[in-house]
Structure 1
Amino acid sequence: MALKSTIYKAELQIADMDRHYYADHALTIARHPSETDERMMVRIAAFALFAGERLEFCKGLSDTDEPDLWAKDLTGAIETWIEVGQPDERRIAKASGRSNEVIVIAYGGRASDIWWQGVRSKVERLRNVTVWSLGENVAAALGALAERTMRLQCTIQDGAAWIGNASTEPVAVEWSVFKAPEKV
């Protein structure tokens, strides 16, 4: 018998001063049985960093044909495909062909550096792909915020981001850019 996903609820307030995006989101997140708190919270952070009117969580680990998050236009075409973790280069290339923009958010410190060296040569030629690596302790700090019911705030300003709740210090969501999309 397969284990079922655990449902988490999050009220997320976003103040993105860089993009002038200010919104409250009521999120329902299905945490796959094999997913850690850290990975789930990195998905929530990805949502906060790239939030928009049409961004939504997908089946992710439960379905190999869907990313962790995506935004589709009104015709159903995929505008933005967001992967969390360390997908292989074939998955990234497939996503690149299916969407206008692909964003990969790797985490895990040194493991992300090793992963990037393994996929770099194939991924660098993909024009519409962005690859970020979260700072070494960011995923663990975000994971510490995980609760079945959460109230989170995200502030983004001058290329920096913080996510927190009312009872703890905000987590500085730091990243380095492995690859930025090519300008056309």
Structure 2
Amino acid sequence: MAAGATVHTFETHLADVDRAIYEEFSLRVARHPSETSAFMVTRVLAYCLEYEDGIGFSEGISTADEPAVIARDLTGLVTAWIEVGQPEAERLHRGSRLAARTAVYTQHDPAKVLARWEGKRIHRREEIRLHSFDPGFVEAAASLVARRNALTVSVTERHLYVELNGTSLDSAIHTRPLG
């Protein structure tokens, strides 16, 4: 955990009807002082929306060679490389070479994020998906975050329903290919 990081706990109930995943778990999320609450919420949502065996958060800014969220199989092989925010094209290129699947979740305007990658070399670009949410959704969720959180995440027909500390929010999950 990074020095000066604030730890947030999310007692999470996940019901992803689209993927038939129903789980309960506790997430301990270290938020570095330079990390915005919107970025942290996007990390947590990416974790939930990509949930699978072997998923976890990377060590954060201290490990620049890993994404925000990563999944590994039992042998340690990277199966999913999940970036958050607006990563550099080089990171996506590296991640898509290492992992069977690469995705990006952003709290930013997706058109601007895609524009950053135009003309840049990205391995298997056409297989990578950029996921975003309705304008204002992540910011509204971020305003509700406390040190200890009760989080329910439900997904059905690519629509996201979140209850965070007793407040309900919802958003479409917008998905765009990079290629």
Partner of 2:166: 167
Question: Deviation digits for residues 80-118 of structure 1, max 9, x if unmatched?
Answer: 011100011111101111111111112223xx4223112
Aligned AA (2:59) = K
Q: Residue 121 of structure 1 aligns with which residue?
A: 119
Report deviation, 1:47.
Answer: 1.1
SS in 1 for 2:27: strand
Partner of 1:58: 58
Partner of residue 146, structure 2? 147
Q: CA RMSD, aligned part only?
A: 2.0
Tell me whether 156-165 or 31-40 shows the greater mean CA deviation: 156-165
Q: How does 1:64-103 map to 2 (within 5 A)?
A: 64-103=64-103
Distance in 2, Cα, partners of 1:3 & 1:54:
26
Structure 1 residue 172: deviation in Å?
1.4
On the 8 A contact 1:45/1:163 being kept in 2, the answer is no
Counterpart position of 1:11: 11
Whether the 8 Å contact between 1:60 and 1:69 is mirrored in structure 2 is no
Residue 166 of structure 1 deviates from its aligned partner by 4.8
Amino acid across the alignment from 1:160: H
Change (3 A) 1:48 1:101: same
Report SS of the residue matched to 2:34. coil
Deviation of residue 53 (structure 1)? 2.2
Identify unmatched segments of 5+ residues in structure 2.
none
The Cα shift of 1:77 comes to 0.6
Alignment check: 8 A CA contact 2:160 2:173 kept: no
Cα distance change, pair 54–125 in 1 and its aligned pair in 2 (3 A): closer
AA partner of residue 114 (structure 1): K
Q: CA offsets per residue over residues 8-48 of structure 1, 9 Å max, x none? A: 11100001111111110111100011001111111111111
The TM-score normalised by the length of structure 1 is 0.88
Listed one character per residue, the Cα deviations across residues 56-78 of structure 1 (whole Å, up to 9, x for unaligned) are 11123232111111110111110
Task: Specify whether residues 89 and 180 from structure 1 end up closer, same or farther in structure 2 by C-alpha distance, changes over 3 A only.
Answer: closer
Question: Number of aligned pairs?
Answer: 177
Q: 2:18 is paired with a residue of what secondary structure?
A: coil
Q: For the Cα contact (< 8 Å) 1:3–1:33, is it kept in 2?
A: no
Preserved contact between residue 12 and residue 154 of structure 1 (Cα < 8 Å): yes
Letter in 2 for 1:82: I
Asked if the contact 1:100/1:128 (under 8 Å) is kept, the reply is no
Q: Tell me the percent identity.
A: 28
